[in-house]
Amino acid sequence: MKRQLFTGNLVRLVAANPESDPETLATWSRNAGFLRLMDTDPAQPWSLARVREDMKRFESKGDMFAFHVRTLAEDKLIGFVSLSGPAWTHSTVWFGIGIGDDAYWGKGYGTDAVRLAVQYAFEELNMHRVTLNVFDYNVRAVRSYEKVGFVLEGRQREAMQRDGKRIDILYMGILREEWVATTRAEGED
Amino acid sequence: MNANLFDGSLVRLSAPDPDRDADIESGWTHDPHYLRHTSLEPARPQSAAQVKEKYAALAKDTGGTQFHFSVRTIEDGRLVGFVGIERIAWAHGTANIQLAIGSPDDCGKGYGSDALQLALRYSFDELNLHRVTAFGFEYNPRAIHFFERAGFVAEVRQRQAIAREGRRWELVVLGLLKRDWRSRQVIEARA
C-alpha cells in the first residue's frame, strides 16, 4: 500500500468544505468561458444557493465520488473532479473535471487531478474502464486526457451548438490494462 | 403539412394506457433477451405494478425533456412496443432515441422500422431537433444494423464497456443528423 490515493505532485483531492467553498465556486461561474468548457447546459452564473445544492448532490454517497481539488503549495481551492454514474456490474464509470480558477490552466494542475481521479477509479473503485466526454474546442483538456492515457474512441457529430457553429462531442476512454501499463512505465523511469 | 404524424403503414404512435399495457409490458420483462437488448442494468423482471409506477413517473415529468409513445398495430391496436425520445437538450437540438419491440413474435415484421421512421419524423419535423443519438450493444448486431439501415452512423465505440456472457463488448453510439434524414426522405419520395 505505497500509493498516496489523494496526493499528487501539484494538487490533492479533498472533501468539499460546505462553509468556505461555495463562495469560491460561485465566483468561478462568473466566467462563461469556464462554464462552456464544462457543460452543455446553457451558461448561467451560479447563485450561492445553487452551489450549496449542487455540493449536496455531489456528496459522495455510493453512486457518486466527488472531490474538491486544492493545490499542495498554497492549499488553494482551484477545482473539482467527479466519478459518477458507476455501472457496477460492468465496472465502468464516468469522469468529470472542472478547474475553475483560470490562473491554474495550462500548468499541469488539471492533469495531476485527472491522474488522481483515474487512479482512484482503478485502484479504489476497482473499475475496468473510465469514460469521459469533452467538447471538440477544448483542445487543452483533450491533450491533458491523452497525457493520462485516455484514448479517443469517437465523436458525436454536431452534438452541440455554440456561437452559431455545430460542434462535435468527443468520447474518450481508458482501460485498466492501459492504466497499469502507464503507471508501470512511469515506475521504471 | 403532414397530418399523419402518428400513423405509419403498420403501426401508430399512441399514448400509454397503463391499466391495459402494464400486464403486457411486465410479460416482456420476463424474457432475459428483451432485458439484455434494451438495458445495461442487471436483468430483472418487473411486475405490472412496477411498470405502472414507471408510467406514473413518466407522466409526472413535465420538464419537456422526453416524449414517450406506445407502439400499436394499425390493424388491431395491439401493443407491440414503445419508443422514447429522451434527454432532449433544447439549446443544442439533440436527443437520445430508444425503441423496443416487446415480443420476439413481433420482431422481423417491420413494426420496428415503421415505428422508428415515425419517431424520427416526430424528432425532426415536430420537435425540430438537429440530431438524434441511439445506443447499440455489440452482442446485438441486429439492432445496430437496424439503426444503420435508417441512416444512423456508428460514431463512437466505447471499448470493453459491457461485461456479459463472460467477455467484454463494445457500447456503440450511433448518430443521425437531420439533413441526412431529410435527404433520404427526398430520395424515397422520388423512388
What is the interface pTM, i.e. ipTM, of the complex?
A: 0.92
pLDDT of residue B190: 74
Q: pLDDT below 70 — which residues of chain A?
A: 1-2, 60, 187-189
Q: How close does chain A come to B161, measured CA to CA in Å?
A: 7
A129 touches chain B (CB under 8 A): yes
Is the pLDDT higher at B82 or at B58? Answer: B82
Whether residue B81 contacts residue B101, with contact meaning beta carbons closer than 8 Å, is answered with yes
pTM for the model:
0.93
Residues of B in contact with A151 (CB under 8 A): 159
**Cβ contact, residue pair A160, B160, below 8 Å:** no
Residues of B in contact with A172 (CB under 8 A): none
User: Is the sign of the CA dihedral A16, A20, A22, A27 positive or negative?
Assistant: negative
Which grid cell sits at A95? 469522469
**Cβ contact, residue pair A156, B155, below 8 Å:** yes
Count other C-beta atoms under 10 Å from residue A142's C-beta.
17
Judge whether residue B111 has pLDDT over 80.
yes
The three-state (H, E, C) secondary structure of A107-154, written as one string:
CCHHHHHHHHHHHHHHHCCCCCEEEEEEECCCHHHHHHHHHHCCEEEE
- Compute the distance between CA of residue B139 and CA of residue B143 in angstroms, rounded to an integer: 9
Q: B174: nearest CA in chain A? A: A156
pLDDT of residue A183: 83
- Compute the distance between CA of residue B151 and CA of residue B83 in angstroms, rounded to an integer: 17
pLDDT of residue B191: 66
Listed residue (A127, A138, A156) closest to A65, CA to CA: A127
Q: Quick one: A93 exposed, middle or buried, by C-beta within 10 A (0-12, 13-18, 19+)?
A: buried
- Compute the distance between CA of residue A99 and CA of residue A24 in angstroms, rounded to an integer: 12
Lowest mean pLDDT among A107-116, B61-70, B116-125, B159-168: B61-70
pLDDT of residue A189: 47
- Residue of B91, B94, B161 with shortest CB distance to A42: B91
Three-state SS at B153:
strand
pLDDT of residue A2: 54
Which grid cell sits at A90? 460492468
B94 touches chain A (CB under 8 A): yes
User: Is the sign of the CA dihedral B20, B26, B31, B34 positive or negative?
Assistant: positive
pLDDT of residue B2: 65
- Cα dihedral B104, B105, B107, B108, rounded to 10, equals 130
